Amino acid sequence: MTFDDIHQASLRLIGKVSRTPLLESTRLNQWLGQRILFKTECLQTTGAFKLRGATNFIASLQEQGNIPRHIVANSSGNHAQAVAYAASQAGIPVTIFSTENISEVKAAATEDYGAELRLYATRPEADEAVKQAAKQEGVVWIPPFNHPLIVAGQGTATLEAIQDADHVDAVFAPCGGGGLLSGSLLATRHLASHAKVIGAEPLVANDAARSLQSGVIESLSGPVSTLADGAATPSVGDVTFPI
C-alpha cells in the first residue's frame, strides 16, 4: 500500500463522509505543556471513523461496476453501524454478524440504518458465520480492518488532520485491528515525515505491542474487559501488521 491509496480514498469520500474538525482544550494544553489537537471523529456520521473505510470499500466496488446483491460484515458495533449506513446509502441490503453482548445502543443504531442483525454467543461463531455467508454468489464481505480499502479509508482521517493542523510533531491513533493506525502511518509518512506515529491499545488487550516485540502476529487468549472495547480486537491482521 502507498499514500496514493489514501489519496484516492479521500476523493471517493467527498460528499459521503464529514470532514470532522480539529478541536483542542486550553486547559489540557496547559496541563501537558503541549498543543493537543483532537480529530473529532465522534462527530462523524455513525459516530466513528469506521464510516470512512466502509464507504471507501463500497465506493470502490461501484467504480468497478461490481455492485453486490448483498453485503455482510462482522462487528461488535462501530463497523456494524458504518457498513449498515454506507450500504443503505448505496441501496444494497446488508446483514451484520455480531455477538450477543453487543451494546444495545449500537445494535439499535445498526438496525435503524436498515441492517439485519444476527447475534451469536461468541465472536468466533460470528466470524465463522460471516465467512460462510460470504461464500454465496453475489455476496461481498466487508471486513472491519484487514483490507487495503479499509486501511485507505481510515487513513483519510489522518490525512485531513495533518492538512488542517498548523504543524504536527506526533500522531496518536488507537489500535484494535490496526486499520486506523496503519492508514495513519501511511498518511503521516507522506505528509509529515518528521512526525512520530504512536499507537495506543488497552493494557489488557496488548496483542499489537506483543506482536511488534515478537515479530509475528500475537492473539488475545480470550475476551477481555476494558472500557475501550472497540480496541480489544483479538489480533491485528496480515494486511495491517506489515505496515
Which CATH number covers residue 156?
A: 3.40.50.1100
Q: 106, 141, 176 — which closes off a domain? A: 141
Q: What is the mean pLDDT of the chain?
A: 95
Q: Which three cell numbers stand for residue 103?
A: 451494546
Q: What is the pLDDT of residue 228?
A: 85
Q: Rg for the chain (alpha carbons), in Å?
A: 18
Q: Specify the pLDDT at position 61.
A: 97
Residues 152 and 226 in one domain: yes
121 and 161, same domain (yes or no)? no
Half-sphere exposure of 161 (CA within 13 A, CB side): 29
Count the neighbouring beta carbons within 10 Å of the beta carbon of residue 219: 12
Q: Which domain covers residue 167, as residue numbers?
A: 3-44+147-231
Question: Residue 186: its pLDDT value, please?
Answer: 98
Cα–Cα distance measured from residue 191 to residue 193, given in angstroms and rounded to the nearest whole number: 6
pLDDT at position 226 is: 85
In the β-sheet with 94-99, what is the strand arrangement from edge to edge? 116-120, 94-99, 70-74, 139-141
- Beta bridge mates, 116: 95
Total structural domains within the chain: 2
> In this predicted structure, what is the pLDDT of residue 37?
98
pLDDT, position 215: 95
Where does the pLDDT of residue 222 fall: very low under 50, low under 70, confident under 90, or very high at 90 and above?
Answer: confident
* Highest mean pLDDT of the ranges 115-124, 187-196, 200-209: 187-196
- Position 230 scores a pLDDT of 80
pLDDT of residue 124: 87
Is 236 inside any structural domain? no
Of 85, 74, 20, 75, residue with least CA distance to 51: 85
pLDDT tens, position by position, 228-242: 878 888 889 999 999
32 and 98 part of one domain: no
How would you label 24-58 residue by residue, b for 16+ Cβ within 10 Å and e otherwise?
eeeeeeeeeeeeebebebeebbbbbbbbbbbbbbb
- Split at pLDDT 50, 70, 90, the class of 68 is very high
Task: Say if residue 40 is in the same domain as residue 152.
Answer: yes
